Chain A
Amino acid sequence: MATRTIAGKEVQVNDEGFMTDPAEWNKEIAVEIAAEEGLAELTESQWKVIDFCRAASADLNGKSPTLRQITTGTGVTTKELFSLFPKGPAKKVARIAGLGKPEGCV
């Protein structure tokens, strides 16, 4: 298992670059990964999604919820979700929230 330093903290990552221990995550890490993903600043709506994913992952074995679980769970519409995290919200959200890729297909 590889490690890398994000926002001054050493964390474990898998070979696709997803963090493997949700407990190592913090908000500074989220901000830094978001910047890598092209999101210069995280807005309140984006935090709402990230916070939901963090909370939901407890029941999902540390994996990020699927996009549909996010939209039904947060009330954020599909359109909004795709504009909050452009170009591939599924992976992007998981990465920023320090979680594994979602396991479901929907």
Chain B
Amino acid sequence: MAEENRHIVFVCSKGTLDMAYPALIMGWAALGNGIDVTIFFTFWGMDLITEKRIDHLEIAPVANTSMKMGMMGVPGNLGIPNLMGALPGMTAFATGMMKKKIAEVEAPPVREYLQMLVDGGANLYACKMSVDMMGLKKEDFVEGVQDVITAADFMDKTEGAQIIFI
């Protein structure tokens, strides 16, 4: 009976809107199934926990070969030409479209989703080197970020866990 509970760790290293969701979705599913969840935010992933950035995550159509006009109901395999994607307003346009798609599947915005995970018992940590490099302080983070930790601390906290790098 002394068996240790399953523990999944997500390393969030990306700060784009689309890459914010995998850890949220899988982390939420894990918590719902009684699995311990830890999320470590590093480099661009710091945006997901930074108060000033969390509501302003974006997705750019430039150099995104998977973003096809099919998402907007245009038939075929037509992409958004990079030259067009570089025009002012195109990133905002793509972001708006992605947010709409996310809402359509009833997934909440990143801030609310992250709060759900915190309420469900997820442990959030920020990367020390990223914090130093980006000039951030613990006060810059959303509620629920427990601590700023080093890579060595991360190794200690994740012993025996399953780790997913995003």
Contact = CB atoms under 8 A, between A and B. Distances in A.
Nearest to B24: A106
Decide if the interface of chain A is mainly helix, strand, loop or mixed.
helix
A89 B119 contact: no
Q: How large is the interface on A (under 10, 10 to 19, 20 to 34, 35 or more residues)?
A: 10 to 19
Interface stretch (B10-18, B30-38, B60-68): B30-38
Contact of B116 (A78, A90, A91, A92): A78
A82 B31 contact: yes
Decide if the interface of chain B is mainly helix, strand, loop or mixed.
loop
A104 interface: yes
Shortest Cβ-Cβ A-B pairs, 6 listed: A88-B34, A90-B32, A78-B119, A87-B34, A79-B119, A88-B33
Interface of A: 67-68, 77-79, 82, 87-92, 104-106
6 contacts: A68-B106, A78-B116, A87-B34, A88-B32, A91-B32, A105-B25
Given A88-B34, A105-B28, A106-B28, 10 more contacts: A67-B32, A68-B116, A78-B116, A87-B34, A88-B31, A88-B32, A88-B35, A105-B107, A106-B105, A106-B108
